[in-house]
Structure 1
């Protein structure tokens, strides 16, 4: 079964090590759970599938969903809705192995981050630079953002560009780190400093 190994960060043809079926119970369709073993790192992967077949067609199992381990891709719930929507689409594209589309949606997420912070420059490069000038991001996050912008530009404008899985995964993770910094850690750190100064 071809699934993503979160440990190896790649898609692998995992080997079945065991399975459990939950038959139709009148409340929901039959489901099966399959314990897999990654052939590369030997780590366990548990997937579930729903039976979408019928009496005429027999058992037809939908796309496997990884139950364990939990995905390390998650969307910051504190980010504004439109930012979450764009990044969720980037993650959906990644999971569907549409890696170039994933990079494009990460670029769109960055554009949305700039707009949410009141920065409306003529292009994304200028907007990211403005964020740095306003101390919204530091030198490291500026560098990350600019590289993500370049990857996104290549994905949008160069029809010959096909993003690899490792590059797409890194693009997702660096975008997520920027979201976490801007919508969680920066504000929490400012609150922490205020608490410390009031003592």
Structure 2
């Protein structure tokens, strides 16, 4: 991608809301307006060095899209699960916290079905399936069940979910994905090396 007429602006450290790269950029644009004889700055657009996507900062330093929360999880064999997890993180980055929580709830169903559960079951059955088939770490059923419960609230209640709730659920979901996919994948890679 080639951004036309970018200039050097004050360097800014941030985490890209598109690719998640931590960076310091000084390539971008300044948004100004000429009012009553003076120029007023309204914000800045910085261009990421890694993915070349634009990130806007207003005069209060609010970042749009916000930084991606969480990390990439390796060895997820099902692209629908990986895409849904990325969607949950993207929802968080734009302030759609309720949507982020709902995506995490849906992930429980997708993971369960991907691992052999019957499609069309209730969410409690999906959690039980994961637990009964040892996809949940010891003492982990409580936090997996909290993904289901908060997701149910997001889906069936009017009240919006908070950034803190969404971040907690995303962290739980990431840990579940690591336990089910990444750790066994790393073990398989290690066994292949020996």
Q: TM-score, normalised by structure 1?
A: 0.63
Question: Which residue of 2 is the match for residue 148 of structure 1?
Answer: 147
Do the aligned partners of residues 177 and 33 (structure 1) sit closer, same or farther apart at CA in structure 2, a change above 3 Å counting?
farther
2:116 matches 1:124: no
Question: Which residue of 2 is the match for residue 164 of structure 1?
Answer: 162
Which residue, out of 96, 99, 106, partners 2:97? 99
Instruction: Work out whether residues 101 and 169 of structure 2, in 8 Å CA contact, stay in contact via their aligned partners in 1.
Output: yes
Do the aligned partners of residues 47 and 110 (structure 1) sit closer, same or farther apart at CA in structure 2, a change above 3 Å counting?
farther
Give unmatched runs, 5+ long, in structure 1. Answer: 1-26, 38-44, 54-58
Deviation at 1:35, TM superposition (A): 2.8
2:109 matches 1:89: no
Q: TM-score, normalised by structure 2?
A: 0.65
2:11 matches 1:34: yes
Instruction: Classify the secondary structure of the residue corresponding to 2:12.
Output: strand
CA distance in 2, matches of 1:171, 1:35: 29
Which residue, out of 68, 71, 79, partners 1:74? 71
Instruction: Work out whether residues 68 and 93 of structure 2, in 8 Å CA contact, stay in contact via their aligned partners in 1.
Output: no
Tell me which of the two structures has the higher relative contact order, counting C-alpha pairs closer than 8 angstroms and 6 or more residues apart.
2
RMSD: 3.3
Q: How many positions carry a matched residue from both structures?
A: 153
